[in-house]
Structure 1
Amino acid sequence: MSQNFSTFNSLSYTEAVDLCLSLADFERATHSPNHSDFHLDRMIFLAGLLGDPQNSVPSVHIAGTKGKGSTSAMVASIIDASGKNVGLATSPHLHSLRERIKFCMRSIPKDAFAKLVSDLWPFVKQTSVEGKHGGVTWFEFMVMAAFYYYATKQANIQVIETGLGGRLDATNILSPEVSVITSISLDHTKILGDTIELIAKEKSGIIKRDTPVVVAPQPYGDQAYSVIAEVASQHSANVLDVGSAYELSAEPNDIYTQNVVVSGNIDEYAFKLPLLGAHQAENAATAIAVSETLNLLGFELSTSDIKDGLEAVHWPGRLQVLQDDGPIIMVDGAHNTHSALSVVKTIKEMKRSELLKINRVILVFGVLSGHDSLGVLGQFESLASLIVPVTSRHPRSSPSDFLEEQAQKLGIGLVQHSESLLSVREGIELALSVAGIDDLVLATGSISVAAEVIEWKENIVPELYPNIPTGIEGKT
Structure 2
Amino acid sequence: MKNTEYDKALAFLSSYNGRTTRRDHGYHHKIMVEVLQLIQVDPAEFTFIQITGSCGKGSTAQFISSILTHHAMDHGLFTGPHLTDYEERFAINGSLIDREEFSSIVLDIQQKLEDYPLKDDVGHMHVMIMIALTYFQKHGIQLVVFENGVGGKTDPSNIFDPMIAVFTEITMDHSHLLGSTIEDIILDKSCIIKPTTKYAICGMNNVQARNYLLKIEHHCETVFRFLYRDYDFITTSSDTTGNTFYFKGLHYFLKNIQIEMLGTHQVQNASNAIAVVEALSECGYSFEKDVIIQALYQAALPCRMEMLEKNGMTFLFDGAHNTLELKTLKESIDSLGLQVSSVMLSISSNKDVEKMMKSIHFEQASYIITPHPFRERNIRQEEIEKSLISVKDIQYFYYPDMKSALKKAFELNQKNQIVLVTGSLYLVGYVKKFVLNEGKE
CA distance change for structure 1 residues 83 and 124 in 2, over 3 Å: closer, same or farther? same
- Cα displacement string for residues 328-358 of structure 1 (whole angstroms, at most 9, x for unaligned residues): 310111121111110011111111xxxx4x3
Amino acid at match of 1:259: T
- Cα displacement string for residues 374-412 of structure 1 (whole angstroms, at most 9, x for unaligned residues): 111011225562212222422113345654554453123
Alignment of 1:344-363 (within 5 A): 344-351=330-337, 356=338, 358=339, 360-363=340-343
Look up the match of 1:470.
none
Amino acid at match of 2:245: V
Secondary structure in structure 2 of the residue aligned to 1:29: coil
Look up the match of 1:323.
309
Look up the match of 1:250.
235
Asked whether 1:162 is paired with 2:162, we answer no
Secondary structure in structure 2 of the residue aligned to 1:245: coil
Alignment of 1:42-441 (within 5 A): 42-126=31-115, 128-129=116-117, 135-221=121-207, 223-269=208-254, 270-323=256-309, 327-351=313-337, 356=338, 358=339, 360-382=340-362, 385-395=365-375, 396-399=377-380, 402-414=383-395, 421-441=399-419
Q: Would the aligned equivalents of 1:86 and 1:156 in 2 still touch at CA under 8 Å?
A: yes
Secondary structure in structure 2 of the residue aligned to 1:215: strand
Secondary structure in structure 2 of the residue aligned to 1:39: helix
Secondary structure in structure 2 of the residue aligned to 1:172: helix
Query: Following the alignment from structure 1 to structure 2, what is the Cα–Cα distance between the partners of residues 438 and 363?
Result: 15
- After TM superposition, give the deviation of residue 29 of structure 1 in Å: 2.4
- After TM superposition, give the deviation of residue 161 of structure 1 in Å: 0.9
Secondary structure in structure 2 of the residue aligned to 1:361: strand
Question: Which portions of structure 1, spanning 4 or more consecutive aligned residues, are displaced by more than 6 angstroms?
Answer: none
Q: Would the aligned equivalents of 2:202 and 2:210 in 1 still touch at CA under 8 Å?
A: no
Secondary structure in structure 1 of the residue aligned to 2:200: strand
Q: Which stretch has the larger CA shift, 112-121 or 10-19? A: 10-19
Q: Would the aligned equivalents of 1:53 and 1:151 in 2 still touch at CA under 8 Å?
A: no
Query: Following the alignment from structure 1 to structure 2, what is the Cα–Cα distance between the partners of residues 267 and 208?
Result: 27
Q: Would the aligned equivalents of 1:178 and 1:290 in 2 still touch at CA under 8 Å?
A: yes
Secondary structure in structure 1 of the residue aligned to 2:244: strand
Query: Following the alignment from structure 1 to structure 2, what is the Cα–Cα distance between the partners of residues 415 and 120?
Result: 44
Q: Report the TM-score, using the length of structure 1 for normalisation.
A: 0.84
CA distance change for structure 1 residues 364 and 11 in 2, over 3 Å: closer, same or farther? closer
Secondary structure in structure 2 of the residue aligned to 1:442: strand
Query: Following the alignment from structure 2 to structure 1, what is the Cα–Cα distance between the partners of residues 27 and 330?
Result: 35
5+ residue gaps, structure 2, are none
CA distance change for structure 1 residues 243 and 324 in 2, over 3 Å: closer, same or farther? farther
Look up the match of 2:8.
15
Query: Following the alignment from structure 2 to structure 1, what is the Cα–Cα distance between the partners of residues 18 and 228?
Result: 37
Asked whether 1:456 is paired with 2:434, we answer yes
CA distance change for structure 1 residues 151 and 164 in 2, over 3 Å: closer, same or farther? same
- Cα displacement string for residues 239-266 of structure 1 (whole angstroms, at most 9, x for unaligned residues): 1002322221225554241112211221
Q: Would the aligned equivalents of 1:321 and 1:330 in 2 still touch at CA under 8 Å?
A: yes
Query: Following the alignment from structure 1 to structure 2, what is the Cα–Cα distance between the partners of residues 310 and 122?
Result: 41
- Cα displacement string for residues 133-158 of structure 1 (whole angstroms, at most 9, x for unaligned residues): 86422320111220121111112521
Query: Following the alignment from structure 2 to structure 1, what is the Cα–Cα distance between the partners of residues 393 and 198?
Result: 47
CA distance change for structure 1 residues 109 and 412 in 2, over 3 Å: closer, same or farther? farther
Q: Would the aligned equivalents of 2:261 and 2:304 in 1 still touch at CA under 8 Å?
A: yes
Secondary structure in structure 2 of the residue aligned to 1:12: helix
Q: Would the aligned equivalents of 2:161 and 2:194 in 1 still touch at CA under 8 Å?
A: yes
Secondary structure in structure 1 of the residue aligned to 2:321: coil
Query: Following the alignment from structure 1 to structure 2, what is the Cα–Cα distance between the partners of residues 35 and 346?
Result: 40
Q: Would the aligned equivalents of 2:154 and 2:178 in 1 still touch at CA under 8 Å?
A: no
Query: Following the alignment from structure 1 to structure 2, what is the Cα–Cα distance between the partners of residues 243 and 145?
Result: 37
Query: Following the alignment from structure 2 to structure 1, what is the Cα–Cα distance between the partners of residues 437 and 258?
Result: 28
